[in-house]
Amino acid sequence: MIQVHSIPILQDNYCFLIEDPKDRTCVIVDPGESAGVISAIKERNLKPVAIYNTHHHADHIDGNEALLKEYGALPVIGSAGDRERIPQLTQYLREGDKVEFGGETAEILEVPGHTLGHIAFVFPGHIFAGDLIFGYSCGAVFEGTMEQMYHSVSKLLKYPDDTLVYIGHEYTLNNVKWAQHVDPDNPDIQQRVALETAPPTVPLQLGLEKRTNHFLRCDDPKVQAFTGKTEPAEVFGALRTHKNNFK
């Protein structure tokens, strides 16, 4: 089975190393810089065999070039929608495509909204989601529409509660006050706040996000009452707008 190592980089980003413990190979996911990633690879005595990029933002791809210089012509795998935006890409993926590593197969989800070309890599029990969601929250809608982002985030709901979600930023503790403001009597949020007192909070547990992340609760009457909307995509848009302006 694959093992995942979370590597803190930059100010609050994460890069992930997916390791196949049988042969000590690894895949590098979203290297926003190279030095810390190379150090982590050497510390674990791993051999990189590929780079996965979830989307084109610099804090997820800026380490690509230096890693290729360090480790040779690794395949760089990402979205077909980012063909023109990630110059190092060698393999272009769309919804329903699959990649294999460590004897396991990952399905590809297209999750536009944060960016139009955003994808997620879904291994059994592990989702590499980039900036699709965060603890208690979701990515800002920079390039897509609120409706696109709603449908993208909602794709996570079909996966088992024990799935681990590997996200691009350590934002969980920054989002607590907003989550409490929207649903102050939520016992799951109260319990979560008591447990998550310091980083790291990543990976996220999907079942906990389903109960405490309001962007995954757009059909919940309490969340609908807060927004004054009932249609889930409209609830989502109202939540994202409120979160954007929350102080």
Split at pLDDT 50, 70, 90, the class of 107 is: very high
- The C-alpha atoms of residue 178 and residue 43 are separated, in whole angstroms, by 38
Give the DSSP per-residue string, 94-108.
Answer: -TT-EEEETTEEEEE
Among 56, 118, 126, 169, the active-site one is 169
pLDDT given for residue 184 in this prediction: 96
Closest by CA to 174, choosing from 148, 153, 198, 150, is: 198
55 catalytic? Reply is: yes
- The share of the chain scoring above pLDDT 90, in percent, equals 99
pLDDT at 236 over 90: yes
114 catalytic? Reply is: yes
Among 114, 118, 126, 214, the active-site one is 114
Give the DSSP per-residue string, 25-67.
Answer: EEEEE--S-SHHHHHHHHHTT-EEEEEE-SS--HHHHTTHHHH
Closest by CA to 150, choosing from 231, 89, 52, is: 231
169 catalytic? Reply is: yes
What mean pLDDT is predicted for residues 2-19? 98
What mean pLDDT is predicted for residues 187-192? 98
What mean pLDDT is predicted for residues 183-208? 97
pLDDT given for residue 247 in this prediction: 84
- What the chain holds in terms of domains, given with CATH numbers, is 3-245 (3.60.15.10)
β-strands 13-20, 25-29 pairing: antiparallel
Tally of CB atoms within 10 A around 3: 13
pLDDT given for residue 230 in this prediction: 97
Split at pLDDT 50, 70, 90, the class of 135 is: very high
214 catalytic? Reply is: no
Tens digit of each residue's pLDDT (9 = 90 or more) over 49-99: 999 999 999 999 999 999 999 999 999 999 999 999 999 999 999 999 999
